[in-house]
Amino acid sequence: MAEDGTSKSLGTPAGTVCDDDCSAFQWDAREDCEVRQILDRIADKWSLLVIALLDDRTMRFTELKRMIDGVSQRMLTVTLRQLERDGMVRRTVYPVVPPRVDYELTPMGRSLHATVQSLVVWTEAHQDEIAVSRERYDRSTGVEVVPSELVG
């Protein structure tokens, strides 16, 4: 992970975390605050899907790769490493040939997945309203989505 810049400020200097002004103010602004980091993690392209799959059962690398389908092994590796680093995923290497590596969710990982479900539920409950809103907005602002011969 040469691009990743893993050698960032670590160890949490025990003072840079956000206080109570977190709640309504800049709790989202920078990487100062933990909320942003978790948000970035669950919102990146593959993390949540990995978590969802592992919440069902322990899986091997290639299993995950097969099931996720669009993912490159690079991104799957990166994603799993981040989740492991954050303590959401446990990685177990069996010293056999060919190598076998199991991934499973930690209790914290399961807890995160459960929490995120509320958002999924919310989205499912509101997706129609959102779709309507978008259609109305796009019509009112005159976005061309269909070639004009369909209306002419």
Partner DNA sequence: CCGTATCCTTTCGGATACTG
Partner DNA sequence: CAGTATCCGAAAGGATACGG
Residues that bind a second copy (CB under 8 A): 6-12, 17, 22-24, 26-30, 34-35, 38-40, 42-43, 46, 48-49, 52-53, 56, 68-70, 84-87, 108, 111-112, 115-116, 118-120, 122-124, 126-127, 129-135, 137-138, 143-145
Exposed/middle/buried for residue 23 (C-beta within 10 Å: 0-12, 13-18, 19+): exposed
Minimum distance from CB of 71 to DNA (Å)?
A: 6
- According to DSSP H, which parts of 6-150 are helical? 34-43, 47-56, 61-68, 73-85, 107-141
Residue 81 vs 110, nearer CB to DNA? 81
Using CB under 7 A, list all residues that contact DNA. Answer: 1-5, 40, 44-46, 60-63, 70-75, 77, 80-81, 91, 93, 98-101
Q: What is the largest CA-CA distance in the chain?
A: 68
Q: How is 103-117 classified by DSSP, letter by letter?
A: EEE-HHHHHHHHHHH
